[in-house]
A and B are shown apart, each in its own frame.
Chain A
């Protein structure tokens, strides 16, 4: 497709600055319409579920501590290698006990891999985005701080901690078989594969369950 030029300006348009006046008219119209600027500290943006913000360890309502089992998957998958876990292994039972769990938030690139691979839904990137500090030490989150972050997140967001599910823990639309661990909690119905959004041209084939034919254009 060859691009089209607009019609050349006539002498009338040249003398009366028609195209410039048109532009000014548009800006004038926009000036009088409602402003789209969000006045940030007073007016807060709506945070979508699944936002990747401050790190936290989910507090287990039963034990009061974290749910981490030191499987080391998050530490291994982290592209910037900012998760440090130390654990002790019980010789007889083989059960691992977390000694320390720390995240260096200044090295983190917020890719969300850690929460995605966690088999017990322990680590999470919360919806908290205001955590500036003056010292670098404030961004070295140890286990205690991470649990505090969780408390702050639950308090600010008013989620029910027993029912909260993060979409990264349990990706929307992903088959349950591909998920890592059995301890994943059940998800809202509209995250399930049966309820996925299907194109309007596809409604017929969806009902019959037949694989739609889209090739051959």
Chain B
């Protein structure tokens, strides 16, 4: 019998116990957005925890059925707004696979670099709120100090801090400037020392250890069964990272390691993400060193103004595709310029595995788009993890699974 089951048996055998229901959220600040949890409690012990989602539903999947492929791209900014560029990249990769085009090498490197920056930005927000929920307020202030630096760099790169829409189908929006690269170099030189500051504050702090060690344990088999991905899965000791196992963009060219936890509790997931910070810095440094010259958008990339009806020529705005691509397109030119069929492409965003599934009927807009968002699946696992724990541990669990409701409800 596990500790949680023991605790449930304990309270239900008690003659004085009184079961009552509590609705936590959707305005609770520690639920990271508009998550509502229907709790059945006995004293402090959680007997059952049922997440209730949908308060932030905007119908992004349905909206994209009426927008062209390039028009839907800014909508993916609004999925996981902590790391919008990672979503954009995943979306663009899926559409590129569907259209049979490939981004140039320089664009791949730029995307990888910016994705890792957004991973740092996302994890910074995670450590900030996670620590704040548990009671360490100082980390919150320090993490936002560094996040501001990254957001300012995003603004310099593409004019927006939170919703950059930087990648394009077949490349990226615009090239990096010298000032941007100087700032980035300064940032990654300084960032590891900032990481040590956070660790000084909480890593061995006895209050932090009491709140995280042995809390919310997910065994490896259960984590796989629940469909967890990202650092939440790796904290349980499962070595699964799409950047390593199905590399995309410039990930095959860079050298990095995937941190893996041991016991699968809140503390291990925390350690995994802290190590990911360091690996991200490593990836960014390698990308900066290896950044090759060349174009930033593919020659046969579709124009932003995409035709809805199948165009007669290859694609609007193209300026001479490569010979191989021409042959490929000539095959389908008579019938359709856009491919028919379906495609699923998944990428490793900071929260976990983000997948885009398209069904195309050959027009310039998807027949159906489905988003496999990690947060939705992590919230589904929350009920199982929290059962038998204390109310205060729910907060620690939400923080350690790193959910964001914009992506969950989409």
Contacts and interface: CB of A to CB of B under 8 A. Distances in A.
A163 interface: no
Interface in A25-79: 26-27, 30, 36, 48, 50-52, 73, 76-79
A206 interface: yes
A77 B178 contact: no
Contacts of A215: 252-253
A109 B163 contact: yes
Interface stretch (B30-38, B196-204, B335-343): B196-204
Contacts of B295: 173-175, 193
B75 A79 contact: yes
Give the interface centre of B268, B304, B319 by most chain A CB atoms within 10 Å.
Answer: B304
Contacts of A48: 155-156, 159
Given A51-B159, A199-B288, A212-B292, A1 B259 contact: yes
Interface in B191-225: 197, 200-206
Contact of A111 (B74, B138, B178, B205): B74
Contact of B174 (A26, A171, A214): A171
Contact of B297 (A178, A199, A201, A206): A178
A139 interface: no
B377 interface: no
Given A116-B304, A172-B174, A215-B252, A198 B74 contact: no
B200 A26 contact: yes
Contact of A202 (B204, B255, B259, B293): B293
B271 A5 contact: yes
B332 interface: no
A177 B319 contact: yes
B10 interface: no
Given A79-B72, A111-B74, A197 B176 contact: yes
A183 interface: no
Contact of B159 (A5, A50, A173, A198): A50
A34 to B, nearest CB: 12
Given A1-B258, A3-B262, A190 B74 contact: no
B290 A199 contact: yes
Given A23-B200, A116-B304, A202 B290 contact: yes
A164 B210 CA distance: 58
Contacts of B232: none
B44 interface: no
28 contacts: A1-B259, A2-B262, A3-B259, A3-B268, A3-B272, A9-B206, A23-B138, A23-B200, A26-B201, A48-B156, A50-B158, A51-B155, A51-B160, A77-B304, A109-B163, A113-B70, A117-B304, A171-B173, A173-B175, A178-B319, A190-B178, A193-B295, A196-B293, A197-B175, A197-B176, A201-B289, A212-B292, A212-B293
Interchain residue pairs A-B with the least CB separation, the first 9: A173-B175, A199-B291, A111-B74, A171-B174, A1-B257, A50-B159, A172-B174, A201-B289, A172-B175
Interface of A: 1-6, 9, 14, 19-20, 22-23, 26-27, 30, 36, 48, 50-52, 73, 76-79, 109-113, 116-117, 125, 167-168, 171-175, 177-178, 180, 190-191, 193, 196-202, 205-206, 211-212, 214-215, 217
